[in-house]
Structure 1
Amino acid sequence: MNLKSGQIQQFAVYSQFKNLKEFNNHMEMWLVEHKQEFTKGELVGLKRLVRFSAKIPGVCNAKIGTMLKAIHEEYHDHGISRSTFKRMIQKSIKLGILTVIETERKNGSQSSNLYLFNRFAQNEPPKQQELNHPNKTSNLSETKIQEINKRKEETFDLDYSFTNDRVPKPFVQLVKYFFDEAKTIEEFWRMTQIAAYRGNREKEKDRVLEVAIKSFKQLISKLKSSQKIQKPISYFYGILEKKFDELYYAEIYEMWVSQPNG
Structure 2
Amino acid sequence: MRKKAITLIASEETYKNLSTFETIDQLNETVRTYKEMLSTELNKTCVAVLDLLHRYSAKYTGVSFLRKNQIGELIGKSRRTIIRACKKLEELGIIRQYEMKRNSDMQQTSNAIVIQPLEEVFGSNHQNVTQEEIENPIVSSSKKMEMSHQENNLYSLKQNIINKRYNGDETEFTSNRVPKKFKDLASNFYDSANTIEELWKVVKCATSKLDYTFSEITDMACDSFRQLVRQIKKNRIRKNIYACYWGIVNNILDQMFYEERYELEKELGVI
TM normalised by structure 2 equals 0.47
In terms of Rg, which structure is larger? Answer: 1
TM normalised by structure 1 equals 0.48
